[in-house]
Structure 1
Amino acid sequence: RAIDGLKGLAPDFISVTYGAAGSSRDRTVEIASAVHNRWGFTALAHLTCMGSTPPEVEKVLEDLEQEGITNVLALRGDPRPEGIPADSPFRYASDLIRHVRRGHFRDFSLGAAAYPEGHPQSPTIEEDILNLKRKQDEGADFLITQLFFDNEAFFRFMDKVRGVGVTLPVLAGIMPVLNARQIGRIVSLCGASIPPKFARIISRYEETPDALAEAGIAYATEQIVDLLSWGIDGIHLYTMNRPDVAARIMGSISTLRSTLVAGQTAPTEG
């Protein structure tokens, strides 16, 4: 039903997370196949490598290819509580990218994750940006950022990224906040900061759910308009299975859509 609601929006691709809706990796392939073959959208399948063996990774890639899906977002995934084994073949997402590029699936379109305010487990943002450079060097085609609420932090991040020689297209991750419960979870999981303007909005409307949802959509729309005015490569909208919210945002920026270049920078089928 959520995918049906995106038909009129013509997205460049639809992301399918690993373990979508609490599913197994096999189920994720099944969902990505439905996105591609039933609904006719380009599917971007998330693939995590933490705790996996090379044959397991290759099996997933083979299953995706058989379904006509050749676009993957290469992710490390969360480490186990005991940490990353010293002999793990996939310690970082760059290891997964290198493995794919050197094997049978070298022609896949590979995306990688970026963190405008630094990965929560990275000692410094500078080290995190060097990790992005490694992802590029191993063969990533484009980057999608974790969600953020502070455009100025994103612009500073982009200056640093370009400064170390990362030339890949970067899609900015935007997620409208629709309820107060999201906020604490987002901050704890991805480390996104809350700028003063957004903090005031949350404080003003957090006890009025409908008003907070309206304000969250308006804030996300304002973020997108500002980002587009700076000529960014594209937007990755985290809809959280709410096509109605995506439709409202896209309707608000309909006259600006000609400036979007996500169709040039997002994964292409091939």
Structure 2
Amino acid sequence: MTALSAEETRVLKHTLREAYMEVFPTATIETRLDVLEPNSYVAVTCSPSKGVDVTLDLSERLANKGFKVVPHLAAKMVRNKSHLHEIIARLNDLPIISIFVPGGDAEAPLGDYSTALDLLRDIAETDHKFTEIGVAAHPEGHPAVATDVLTGELRRKQEIANYLVTQMCFDADAVVSWLRSIREQGVSLPAWLGIPGVADRASLLQTSMRIGVGDSLRYLKRNPRLAARLMWSNEYRPDGLLSELAPYLADPAYDIRGHHVYCFNQVEKTEQWRHKFLEELS
């Protein structure tokens, strides 16, 4: 592991303790989250196959258990303004103050909202109690959208949103370079850096291909030690990635607020790793 200064270690420990664990709704996920502290941060995804109601149902149960829940409201899964108002009314009755608004993975929208920006604009006009609204960001680009278009969208979204979450990335240099670039182009949203949790090889590669993390896969090819470790162990751990990102966490020029852990629902493994990694940092 890269040698860190005392300040870098302190900030890394803080951001890792406060990291969001992203999960997707399944029949067993609620009990699997019992390994987390009750006030832990949990983000709940919204998939085309399950829809927004399943996300809201799980978010409600977790919030009532004491978790700090961030439901994903995928724009393509919201039918119209009336549906949006129903969603907001339901969330307003819960101890939930933060939402995350991606465009969504569906090939076609269910209704009126085809982009996150469309939905954000209508959310801004509703009577909601959210103090935090997050949007997705893509350090390695998007398979269907040009980089300059993505940056322009972030500038427009920051008129409504107040934080961004980056897509999963294995390459610290790519993340840092991208952050430096968007800051220079006027994107000031505080950043939560998306990192893989402890994941088996199959889950990691499958998700990487789905979300278009091509550069990260090429990064693995350029780094044979990491690729070999993943191939031989059948498991990825983000220790090295976090150590490489640590020097930038306290730099105000980057405005990094923390980490968003894509754990692929392998909550137990990822939480065990987090505790062990924090102990090693002490």
TM-score of the pair, normalised by structure 2: 0.76
The answer to whether the aligner puts 1:101 opposite 2:141 as a matched pair is no
* Deviation at residue 200 of structure 1 after TM alignment: 4.1
Question: 2:200 matched to which residue of 1?
Answer: 179
* Deviation at residue 198 of structure 1 after TM alignment: 4.7
Given candidates 271, 276, 282, the residue that maps to 1:247 is 271
1:1-270 maps to which residues of 2 (within 5 A)? 1-7=31-37, 11=40, 13-19=41-47, 23-38=50-65, 40-50=66-76, 52-80=79-107, 89-105=112-128, 107-123=130-146, 125-137=147-159, 139-176=160-197, 178-192=199-213, 193-194=216-217, 195=219, 196=221, 198-203=223-228, 205-206=230-231, 208=232, 211-213=233-235, 216-217=236-237, 220-231=238-249, 232-254=256-278
Provide the C-alpha distance between the structure 2 equivalents of 1:24 and 1:84, rounded to a whole number of angstroms: 11
Provide the C-alpha distance between the structure 1 equivalents of 2:230 and 2:278, rounded to a whole number of angstroms: 27
Q: Is the 8 A contact 1:19 1:27 kept in 2?
A: no
* Deviation at residue 108 of structure 1 after TM alignment: 4.5
Q: Is the 8 A contact 2:75 2:116 kept in 1?
A: yes
Provide the C-alpha distance between the structure 1 equivalents of 2:60 and 2:109, rounded to a whole number of angstroms: 31
Query: Could you say what secondary structure the match of 1:3 adopts?
Result: helix
Q: Paired residues, what number? A: 241
- The letter of the residue matching 1:6 is L
Query: Could you say what secondary structure the match of 2:119 adopts?
Result: helix
Question: 1:261 matched to which residue of 2?
Answer: none
Provide the C-alpha distance between the structure 2 equivalents of 1:197 and 1:6, rounded to a whole number of angstroms: 35
* Deviation at residue 168 of structure 1 after TM alignment: 1.2
CA displacement, residues 216-252 of structure 1 (integer Å, 9 cap, x when unaligned):
11xx111112212211321111122223322233224
Provide the C-alpha distance between the structure 2 equivalents of 1:256 and 1:136, rounded to a whole number of angstroms: 37
Q: Is the 8 A contact 1:221 1:249 kept in 2?
A: no
TM-score of the pair, normalised by structure 1: 0.79
User: Which structure's relative contact order is higher, taking Cα pairs within 8 Å and 6+ residues apart?
Assistant: 2
Query: In the superposition, relative to structure 1, how do residues 154 and 183 fare at CA in structure 2: closer, same or farther (>3 Å)?
Result: same
Q: Is the 8 A contact 1:174 1:237 kept in 2?
A: yes
Identity among equivalent positions (%) equals 24
Question: 1:267 matched to which residue of 2?
Answer: none
- The letter of the residue matching 2:46 is Y
Query: In the superposition, relative to structure 1, how do residues 257 and 126 fare at CA in structure 2: closer, same or farther (>3 Å)?
Result: farther
- Structure 1 gaps of 5+ residues are 259-270
Query: Could you say what secondary structure the match of 2:59 adopts?
Result: helix
